[in-house]
Amino acid sequence: MKPLYVLIMSIALSTSYTMAQSCHEQTITNDSVISITEQPQYEVIKQLVDEPSTIIIDVRTPEEFEEGHIETSVNMPLQTLEDSLLPLKDYKNIVIVCKSGKRAEQAKTLLTLKGFTNVYNAGGWQTLDTKLKSKK
């Protein structure tokens, strides 16, 4: 009976070790959807906005946009964004802003699901505006 117990314990330990190793070595693929908790990649975005193939989209309401916005941004409210996708096909990079980054993340997810790549959530428009002005 003792050899059977040793055999079962050996198999159990071996299986546990193998499972732990496969979980530890597992890699996470990075696609173009970045979670809201990740900080915007300002250095990358600052370089992209100078390219003619980049558009900055502000997904706040028209009223919020009129109160202030990045000079080169285009207002495409989140509520109507899905109806305005066709003109975005002409751009290689899409940078999205809003007030805090939450609506920008929703817009980014929508665009990514619709097949757009190189979509960046730049967070709040005022933060990006300040960073863009400081680079000059």
The encoded tokens of residue 96 equal: 């999205």
Strands, DSSP E only, in the chain?
54-58, 74-75, 93-98, 119-124
The encoded tokens of residue 28 equal: 């996470």
Phi and psi at residue 92, in whole multiples of 5°?
A: -80, -40
Torsion of the alpha carbons at 82, 87, 89 and 92, rounded to the nearest 10: -110
CB of 75 closer than 8 Å to CB of 96:
no
Active site residue 23: no
Which one is catalytic: 76, 95, 98, 119?
A: 98
CA–centroid distance for 33 within its chain? 4
What is the per-residue DSSP string for 114-129? TT--SEEEEEEHHHHH
Residues with catalytic roles: 98
